[in-house]
Each structure stands twice: as structure tokens, then as C-alpha cells.
Chain A
Amino acid sequence: MATERVSLDRKQERADLQADLQLTIRELKKKKAFPMRHRWMVMILGGVGCALLAGAPIARAQDAQPPRMRQAQSSPATPDFTGIWEKSRSTFPGGSDRFAPEEPPMTAWAEERYRAARQGVLHPLDQGREDVDPMLYPYCMPPGMPRIHLRGQAMEIIQAPGRVYFLFEAGPSMLRIHTDGRKHLSNPPPSFMGDTIGRWDGDTLITETVGLHDWTWLDSAGHPHSSALRVEQRIRRPNYETLEISLLFDDPKVYTRPWTAKKVYRLRPDWEVLEYLICEDTVQEKYTQEVLGGSEGP
């Protein structure tokens, strides 16, 4: 069965990756490890301390509270970005399809690819050609990173120890940001959302994404990118209702210099994240006709 084949492929890929991950984790632990000569003392004192503090109010409070609140207590300086966010209206014409009002500094190769993706497009602010857009039928790929930031659907952020999750309604897609100090995988398999690490710097979360497929467009206008694309995000919450994401795109194979953009999101506390499937209305209707014979259920 094809499903099984995919599973087996994934298992092999996973097995290769786990070895890589184990190395990364080991490096991390080594970096954080106490000198062995002090460990016994720490353990003894820790044991005594834990016994003495077994009934302490803080410990009891942490146990009684849900994980989200525990996290907030354990790192009080960490900004809270949790919530459901909607991308704000663009500040320049065509901004729903591209990151910057001016053209990014493309290499000759990129110029050629960009022209091909826009051949026959009448207005300079329109999207790229639909028949070669990787997100549209028959390709139906996820928007991927960073194009996901141009989608109009909701984005939910949740924070956990060592992780921040960006859950995008479109796709659906997920950006996992490792904030536990690890490095990138040494050879991450290409993926649509990439391999992302991050760190907190005051009120800002700084992230770096690599390991992206070169199949996707960088934006809806048709700007290309290579698998060497590195996306940096600087995310901060200037006020309760606003989330600012400053982006930097660094792809020397495609752009002659790094270039930047900014997206602003507005908090939507009364929203729920729903489902938005790419190509749901085109590819998948075949099943209803071919297998179910048009049946709509009882």
C-alpha cells in the first residue's frame, strides 16, 4: 500500500535524523552540564532542599496549576505571545501578495524565474501566474515559510518550555520554534516550514529558519527562493493587541543582498482557529464522485 510505503520511507528518514538529533541534544547537555566534581554536592543539597521545600507554597502552586501558568511562573521575563492573531491589512498596494513595495535585489537567474512566473500577468501588483503557482491546483503545496505570513487566515501562538508553536490555519501549517538553545540540524531534510531555532532577547523572540524546500514561492507574486534561503524573524508585542514580525530574507543564490519586510498581526481573542485546506474544493471533490457516487450521507 502506498500509505505504508510512505511510512517506511519516513521511518528511514527519521532514523537518520534521530542520530543527528541525539548528537545535538548531547552537545546541548554537555554545554549545560555541571562539572562532575560538583554534581554530588548539588544532588545532596538538592535532595535536602527538596525535602525542606516539599510543602512550600510555590511548589504546591505549580503542581496545582495548568502547564501554561507554570511556564509563565518559571520564566517571568519571557514575553507572552500566546493567542490567536490576524494579519493586519498591508500598508502598501499589493502588500497582500508580496513582502515589500519595491522589488528585492534579484540575481540574473532569479530575474528570469520571476519573469517566467509572471509571464502574461497584466498588472504589476497582481499575483503570479496561477498555472505555475505551487500552492494552486494541480500542485497544491502548502504555502510554506515565509509565504505563510501572506495568508489571510488566523495564526495561533502557544508557548511551552523550550518551544514556541505558530499554528497557521492555512494548510494547516505549523512552525515549531526550538528555544532550548539547540542548534540547527546539521543537514535538515528540506521541508515546507523548515527547521527553526529561536532565542529570547528582552521583549523580542529572534528566530532563524533554514532547510526549506525550493519548490515554493517566497511570496504570491512569484519571487523565487532556493533551498539556501535563511529567514530571520524578530517578533515582539509592542502593545497588548499588536504583534510585530520583522523578517529578513537571506538567499545569496537568488538575491544579491539580504532584504527585509515587516508584518503586523492584531490579537483576535474571540476567534477560533478553523480549518483551511489547500485545494480542498478542486482535488478532493473527485473522491465524492468516483468513490461515493455523489452521496452526501444520510
Chain B
Amino acid sequence: MGKIVSGLMLALAVSVFSLPGVSQAPSGGASKGIPDLSGVWDRPGAGNLARISPTGPEALSSAGGGGGGYSNFIVAERPSMTTWGKERYDAVRVGLKDYDDQPPDALDHERYCYPRGPTRMFTGGAWPFEIRQMADVVFFFFERDHWVRRVFMDGRGHPDGYLVTWMGHSIGKYEPDTLVVDTVLVNDITWIDGLGHPHSTDAQFTERFRRSGRDQLEYTIRVDDPKAYTKPWEGKRVFEVMPRSFEIMEHVICEELLEMGAPRNPQP
């Protein structure tokens, strides 16, 4: 009888220790080439802006958070734009003095209820997101306007003739400690970041996600868009893991602008 009880307890103990999702800390998948990035991520206290790295391009290759400097989206140097890119950029930055100034709301596509686009979800203002890693797809669930990004991990390429969409078409692969996401065919109305950096529908975004610490997620992006920029450029941001009780909520874009919720209907 004693052996049975001990056996039951042993099995119970093993099952308890192997419960999925007991902690949001890494669960060891990295050793098999699949880093565990699942969880809810945010950047509490972060601003809504992009910044030029104070230390230049080398800052993007450093591992740390730079004393909190990465609470914002950091670009190594000002992207060098083509004429088309500059025209688009200037069109939404009328009257602004400093590079770090945010474009006025009146010129922001979000104020017209357009989706934020795939990259500004990470480079823009502070809204949490959830990563769910499935067998063939990695999902990003964003609180911002309850958007979903799907990254196909089954080895497919970008299909010919695919639609231009707000989130684009994303494929991915795992490197030893990194999820690498390649995205194309993004609607060119969206911005790359909160400063209004434009892109064309020919843009290719390479995003890399890795745990730079137990509770940190490092996000880097490389923008390759010859129609908008004279050379590729990169940026970086660091996110923090949220506690397990932290839930993604529901945000609906333009909820406050349109007549949503106007007391049109008397209540019973």
C-alpha cells in the first residue's frame, strides 16, 4: 500500500512539475532549437516614439537594455530616404522641428481608423501583445485593435500573387535562440514606426525575436525597401514579460472617434 501511495505521489509530483505554463520563464525549448517566446509582453512606462541611438549603430548589437534606453524603439541612425520616401515622410511631419517629434494626429493613418500595420505594433506605442507558438504557425495576438499576425513556420515561401494586406504575409524560421520572421506585401498606408517612416508595398521586413534575458524579449527589425530608402536600416526594442495574471484586453480602434457607444439606445 505504501508503495502505491509513493508511486501515486511520485506521478503526481512529476505531473505537477511538468504542468505547462506554470511560469512565463523559458521552459527549455531553446535547447532543441525552438526558443520559448510564449507569453504576454509589454513595455510598461515606454513612450510612443522612436529614438536615434545616442551611441550610434553599435548600440543595436549590444545585448543589454542600455539603462532603459530601449523602452523606446531605437534606430541606429536616421534612415536615408529616396525622393519618394522623403515626400511621404514630410507629408505627415508638417510643422515638426525635431526628429523625435511625433506626427500630428490629423496626419496619422490610425486616426482614420486604419490598422497599425505589422511593424508599428512593436515599434509604436505601449500596447501589450501575446505570443503563441504552435507547430506550424506562430501567432502574435495584439491588444491594439485585437489584431492577429500569423507567421507560417512550415517551410512555405511567400506565395506568388498574394494580396497586399494590412499585416502582410509572414513566414518564419527558428535559429538557435531566435525566431526570425520575414514579412512582405504590407499595405503602404501603414508606417514603420510612430515617427511616420513610410514604406512601399515592395518592402521586406526581417524581424528577429529572442529572449535577451529571463524576462526580456529583444526585438530587432531590418527594413529593406529600395523604393523608400537608399539602403536597408535597422531598429531595436526590448519588451518585458508580464505576470501570468496579466491578460490581453480588448481595444477597438476608433472606438473613441466614431459614434461607437454613443447613447443612442435607451436601456431596458
Contact = CB atoms under 8 A, between A and B. Distances in A.
A115 interface: no
A69 interface: yes
Residue in B110, B134, B141, B251 whose Cβ sees the most chain A Cβ within 10 Å: B134
B112 A46 contact: no
Given A161-B21, A191-B250, A213 B261 contact: yes
Contacts, number: 192
A176 to B, nearest CB: 7
Nearest to A2: B105
B201 A297 contact: yes
B134 A161 contact: no
A90 to B, nearest CB: 27
A3 interface: yes
B6 interface: yes
Interface in A156-176: 158, 160-162, 165, 167, 171-174, 176
Give chain B's interface residue range (CB within 8 Å of chain A): 35 or more
Give chain A's interface residue range (CB within 8 Å of chain B): 35 or more
Contacts of B31: 63
A32 to B, nearest CB: 10
Interface string B13-55: 1101111110000001101101000100000000010000000
Interface in A252-298: 253-254, 272-275, 277, 279, 283-284, 286-288, 290-293, 295, 297-298
Nearest to A167: B148
A110 B14 contact: no
Contacts of A290: 112
A54 B111 CA distance: 54
Nearest to A22: B245
Residue in A14, A18, A298 whose Cβ sees the most chain B Cβ within 10 Å: A298
Interface in B190-248: 200-202, 227-228, 244-248
B1 interface: no
Given A70-B20, A162-B21, A174-B146, A286 B134 contact: no
Contact of A68 (B135, B147, B244): B135
Contacts of B105: 1-3
Given A113-B265, A277-B115, A287-B112, A139 B245 contact: no
Interface in B101-147: 102, 105, 107-115, 125-127, 132-136, 139, 141, 143, 146-147
A45 B9 CA distance: 7
B245 A18 contact: yes
Contact of B10 (A18, A46, A70): A46
A63 B35 CA distance: 11
Nearest to B248: A176
A193 B188 CA distance: 30
Contacts of A88: none
Given A14-B249, A192-B250, A7 B48 contact: yes
B151 interface: no
A63 B28 contact: yes
Interface in A216-244: 224, 226
B59 interface: no
A138 interface: yes
Interface stretch (B60-68, B70-78, B161-169): B161-169
B146 A158 contact: no
A71 B20 contact: yes
A66 B133 contact: yes
B107 to A, nearest CB: 5
Given A70-B20, A283-B113, A171 B146 contact: yes
User: Shortest 9 CB-CB distances between A and B: which pairs?
Assistant: A46-B13, A287-B112, A66-B135, A161-B20, A191-B250, A253-B268, A68-B135, A109-B268, A49-B10
15 contacts: A1-B48, A7-B48, A7-B126, A17-B249, A42-B9, A42-B16, A48-B10, A65-B135, A66-B135, A167-B148, A193-B250, A213-B261, A272-B150, A273-B148, A287-B112
Interface of A: 1-4, 6-7, 10-11, 13-14, 17-18, 21-22, 24-25, 41-43, 45-50, 53, 59, 62-71, 74, 107, 109-110, 113, 132, 134, 138-142, 158, 160-162, 165, 167, 171-174, 176, 189, 191-193, 213-215, 224, 226, 253-254, 272-275, 277, 279, 283-284, 286-288, 290-293, 295, 297-298
